[in-house]
Amino acid sequence: MTILIKGGTVVSSTGRTEADVLVDGERIVAVVAPGSDLAAGITADKVIDATGKYVIPGGIDAHTHMQLPFGGTEASDTFETGTIAAAWGGTTSIIDFAVQKTGERVEDGLSAWHEKARGNCAVDYGFHQIIGGVDEQSLKAMETLVDEGITSYKMFMAYPGVFYATDDQILRAMQKARELGLMTMMHAENGPVIDVLAEQLYNQGKTTPYFHGIARAWQMEEEATHRAIMLAHLTDAPLYVVHVSAKQAVEQLAAARDRGQNVFGETCPQYLYLSLEEQLGATGDPTWGDFEGAKWVCSTPLRSRAEGHQDAMWQGLRTNDLQMVSTDHCPFCMKDQKELGRGDFRAIPNGIGSIEHRMDLLYQGVVTGQISLERWVELTSTTPARMFGLYGKKGVIQPGADADIVVYDPNGHTSIGVGKTHHMAMDHSAWEGYEIDGHVDVVISRGSVVVSDGAFHGRAGHGQYLKRGLTQYLV
């Protein structure tokens, strides 16, 4: 089947141009000037009128957690529901995390995630590998990851007893990663200190969701970020710090990049828009605050708006001290999941559902002047493709690339919330009431129209596994 997208403005990370885009099968085969002889000679099975709209490469969410076991429960989105929600929001590829915990085999964790995702995804998907237990066996298993199309792995400086890695373990893994060309992804928080602070708060009767963020103090994010940077410098390993939320952590990344070190940072929509103050609840009392604040419990946590963390995240995106915006999509329902932590914030499953809203929320940053239109595309599609070995196939509108295309209407409107544009498997929305001055009109995944005319036309099983190459993004 051939599809012609006519009359739109094709936006890339470097500019915008009026162009028609021809799709044949699963690939883009031509990008031509409207009104040219080439354009006049094109016929297609389906024509999409994009007049007055933007034509952009499909979004790539490089940080998701579908069906992740956590805190005695499991993330509520399956690979099917999560990737359908992604498609609704203009995201046509995800990179999820296969999990190995201490005492488990890397190969078994990867196999389990393949089993969860295979035949269930509505858009294309790949994997990072979590290394939750560093020993000779897991270090040896890292040698097979590139052949599996997995060129990045994640470690945790948080969650002692589950994923936590000590400095010597991180050192050994980074040395192996440098040898293999893998990208080290780091959850940078000082977990043992956070656990002490959390226990002290609980013992003082400070048990509401608000205190989750107080326990995970910004000092512990800055300290861990600095420590990860120093270990990466020592081993000469590239480093990618996930879900950066503290302005002081951005400062650490900026300083390292100014020295020429290959370190990168990702933030998430929640750290651009939401704040710790919102977890106080309707009473405004941190001790007796409303449990509704559990909606926004995630790690790293939301930060205080009064301290300027949100403004710093936007600035980091403008200055390229932060290179990407992913979601860390790890959704939990309030009922029977978040409620596990009623009376003890330590037991609230950590996670926010945002996969459906990332493209819209970042576009609102264009509307308000926080970022440019081109930077929007760069942050949400092009850089993820370059960072994680997909560029050329994904992240760009050019002949030969996969036909992952979004037609976005800047004159449209999107109201976010349950029962509006919400298709994630959740009983609430962290984004309830947000209004977006734009709208995802058409979504094409590898040449198949999966969203158009306000309806989903895709299917579970359409998504293919992405074997990724090495990073194409260095300082």
Q: Is the pTM of this model over 0.85?
A: yes
Mean pLDDT by 10 residues, the chain (475 residues): 96 97 97 84 92 98 96 94 98 97 91 98 98 93 95 96 94 97 97 98 94 97 98 98 98 97 98 90 65 93 96 98 98 96 95 97 98 98 98 97 98 85 90 95 98 97 96 74
Position 123: which residue type?
Answer: V
**What pLDDT, on a 0 to 100 scale, did the predictor assign at position 35?**
80
Are 120 and 78 contacting, i.e. CB atoms less than 8 angstroms apart?
Answer: yes
Position 228: which residue type?
Answer: A
Fold of 58-380: TIM Barrel (3.20.20)
pLDDT digits (tens, 9 = 90+) for 406-424: 999 999 999 998 666 689 9
Q: Give 420's contacts (C-beta < 8 A, 6+ positions apart).
A: none
**What pLDDT, on a 0 to 100 scale, did the predictor assign at position 418?**
67
Are 438 and 410 contacting, i.e. CB atoms less than 8 angstroms apart?
Answer: yes
3-state secondary structure the chain: CEEEEEEEEEECCCCEEEEEEEEECCEEEEEECCCCHHHHCCCCCEEEECCCCEEEECEEEEEECCCCEECCEECCCCHHHHHHHHHHCCEEEEEEEEEEECCCCHHHHHHHHHHHHCCCCCCEEEEEEEEECCCHHHHHHHCCCHHHCCCEEEEECCCCCCCECCHHHHHHHHHHHHHHCCEEEEECCCHHHHHHHHHHHHHCCCCCCHHHHHHCCHHHHHHHHHHHHHHHHHHCCCEEECCCCCHHHHHHHHHHHHCCCCEEEEECHHHHHCCHHHHHCCCCCCCCCCHHHHHHCCCCCCCCCCCCHHHHHHHHHHHCCCCEECCCECCCCCCCCHHHHCCCHHHCCCCECCCCCHHHHHHHHHHCCCCCHHHHHHHHHHHHHHHCCCECCECCCCCCCECCEEEEECCCCEECCCCCCCCCCCCCCCCCCCEECCEEEEEEECCEEEEECCEECCCCCCCCECCCCCCCCCC
429/123 Cα distance (integer angstroms): 22
Fold of 2-56+397-456: Urease, subunit C; domain 1 (2.30.40)
The domain limits of the chain are: 2-56+397-456, 58-380
Q: Among residues 47, 126, 91, 116, which one has the least CA distance to residue 458?
A: 91
**What pLDDT, on a 0 to 100 scale, did the predictor assign at position 43?**
85
